Amino acid sequence: MNTSNITNYKPKDFAELLGVSVKTLQRWDREGTLKANRTPTDRRYYTYDQYLQFKGINTENDNRQIVIYARVSTRNQKDDLHNQVSFLRQFCNARGIIVDQCIEDYGSGLNYNRKKWNELLDEVMEQKIKTIIVTHKDRFIRFGYDWFEKFCMKFNTTIVVVNNEDLSPQEELVQDIVSILNVFSCRLYGLRKYKKQIERDAEIAKELQDGN
């Protein structure tokens, strides 16, 4: 199965992907250089296959890898990790997708320094990965998924999100929220520690401003 046609793009997103303006896309559409697809309501859209064709990439001889990526925060969640992998393998088998690599990762979705995740991104940049398949966006990254999706697209890699909410452990979300609160609490504590100095600096600044 060709998974590359799963993603459709609005003209604005597609223009950003190609590094051109929306007006350029509109002109190309009129001239027949790059024809837009149309929805039943006559809205324009573009596909990932069009992106590959525009870049001159031959999808028929694409031997890059299709990768399953599964992640949980701690090793206490091995059952959740196993469920993710099993679900994704069933998903791929049902669609005739041959999986070349299965990555099982441990680490918070807030952590950008996960070793296996970074190795996967390195392979993306090396043009070794065709498709990454995950159960849910937060399995790949908790925040900033859209940025990383566009980043992968720059290297002609598609991320397929199956969107199985049941395989996105809720306790992880709670842990991540607590982690964020802890960070801001520490910063707030630091501000309180220097409260008097901050107030004094503000007074000096006001005096200088009034003096001017």
Residue positions annotated with a catalytic role? 73
169: its two tokens: 């452990």
Four-residue CA torsion sign, 19, 125, 89, 167:
negative
DSSP 14-79: HHHHHTS-HHHHHHHHHHTSSPPEE-TT--EEEEHHHHHHHTT--STT---EEEEEEEESSGGGHH
Residue closest to 51 by CA, chosen among 19, 95, 27: 19
Q: How many residues does the chain have?
A: 212
Task: In whole angstroms, give the CA distance from residue 103 to residue 88.
Answer: 11
Coil, strand, or helix at residue 128? Answer: coil
127: its two tokens: 């043009």
Task: In whole angstroms, give the CA distance from residue 148 to residue 57.
Answer: 21
